[in-house]
Structure 1
Amino acid sequence: MAGSVVVDITMSVDGFVAGPNEGMGRGLGEGGEPIHNWIMGGEWSYDNGPTFQASGADRAAVEALHTRYGAVIVGRRMYDVVDGWGDEVAFPQPVFVVTSRPHPRREVGTSSYTFVTDGIQAALERARQAAGQRPVVIGGGARVVQQYLAAGLVDEIALHIAPVLMGAGRRLFEHIGDHVRRLEIVRVAESPNATHLHYRVGRP
């Protein structure tokens, strides 16, 4: 739907998007690699490097992230722990980074990174202008997803559930407000590495 806002993110069965102590060179935290096995096409590690060989339902989910959305919003912490994705084009769309620290705009290949310092609503307005008729995706991390959920700005949630129990780390569904949001299941797909759930968010 044009103008819609979609959270698209991976988490463990017990609700963590990263293990403990995530940081530079280890964005998924200690022991967090299995959360992204579905993107890599199987088991991988930071020591050996990513493989990006998704197939089947997993590949379809990756392609949807790259083709469906017209703009991406991420938080500054997510941007920092991956060092801005270096010279890699992580997203082919323009990316808007929610931050309290000014930073010059970056262009990397077909993508760009614009740093928005005046809040999540301002970032969304700029992302919608860039997206045109396509939806805007909130790609993470947990804190910025929580802010958009708490503000009632999310229309859909695409969750990729990795079959792993982390036990600790950065939990996704915290600090989202007290009112109940009902979710309507739109689509379910699965692979050995993930269950892909797509929901439409109801209003309280």
Structure 2
Amino acid sequence: MGKVILGMTISLDGFVNDRDGRVDRLYPDLAELGKTKMLRDAIRTTGAVVMGRNAYAMGDPDTFADTYEFQTPIFVLTHVPPKKMPKENDNLKVIFVTDGIRSAMTRAKAAAGTRNATVIGGASTFQQCLRERLCDEVQIGIMPVLFGRGLRLFEHLEDEDIRLEKVRMEESPGGRTDIWFRIAPSS
């Protein structure tokens, strides 16, 4: 069975978006990012994706079947599924999960089989996975920008005792640094 990997890109000061909710400075060149070994490896090893509803809605879901890098089942956490289903293909199916993060992770892991289930969007989804201890690794992409304000990735975890052990680190074009951490056993 594969691992559950939480992946997120943040500013150097820990924000997933700026004060206006924008993320463009975290992803200045998506075409270049797509050529990196880090993303090619993630695409190759990912068998299912979990994301929150807001992360899902940031793009045009009808283009996912044609252009989204992860051509796998996508499990979207939501309270209310949309009335209109997005375009799908033989590999990419969108499944809306209304009964919580544990259900989404169980379903994603089953769909991924021996490959990884990757959580790629939404600070709240990321935080829920950490709080519920539903992940094996955390991959943080750090961009060399400072936002000062915005949505912090590691907020609302103050009562958690989560220890991480660094596994590896890679640098990519544009000054991006990715660090992978294993979730250490609770003490």
Normalising by the smaller structure, the TM-score range is: 0.7 to 0.9
Are 1:150 and 1:175, in contact at CA under 8 Å, matched by a contact in 2?
A: no
Secondary structure of residue in 1 paired with 2:149: coil
Residue of structure 2 equivalent to 1:18:
17
Are 1:17 and 1:142, in contact at CA under 8 Å, matched by a contact in 2?
A: yes
Secondary structure of residue in 2 paired with 1:64: helix
Kindly provide the CA deviation profile for residues 85-125 of structure 1, in whole angstroms up to 9, marking residues without a partner as x.
63543221110000000236544333111100011111111
Deviation at 1:83, TM superposition (A): 3.4
Residue of structure 1 equivalent to 2:25:
34
Deviation at 1:129, TM superposition (A): 1.3
2:33 paired residue among 54, 70, 73: 54
Q: TM-score, normalised by structure 1?
A: 0.81
Residue of structure 1 equivalent to 2:133:
152
Are 1:105 and 1:112, in contact at CA under 8 Å, matched by a contact in 2?
A: no
Closer/same/farther in 2, CA of residues 52 and 174 from structure 1, 3 Å limit: same
Q: Identify the structure with the greater helix proportion.
A: 2
Give me the whole-angstrom Cα distance separating, in 1, the residues matched to 2:9 and 2:62: 18
Are 1:150 and 1:177, in contact at CA under 8 Å, matched by a contact in 2?
A: no
Deviation at 1:195, TM superposition (A): 0.8
Give me the whole-angstrom Cα distance separating, in 1, the residues matched to 2:63 and 2:25: 22
Give me the whole-angstrom Cα distance separating, in 1, the residues matched to 2:2 and 2:37: 22
1:102 paired residue among 77, 81, 85: 81
Residue of structure 2 equivalent to 1:89:
67
> Which amino acid letter does the alignment assign opposite residue 31 of structure 2?
F
**Displaced runs of 4 or more, over 6 A:** none
The percent of aligned pairs where both chains have the same amino acid is 35
Give me the whole-angstrom Cα distance separating, in 2, the residues matched to 1:53 and 1:179: 36
Give me the whole-angstrom Cα distance separating, in 2, the residues matched to 1:105 and 1:54: 28
RMSD: 1.9
Give me the whole-angstrom Cα distance separating, in 2, the residues matched to 1:200 and 1:85: 34
Give me the whole-angstrom Cα distance separating, in 2, the residues matched to 1:172 and 1:179: 14
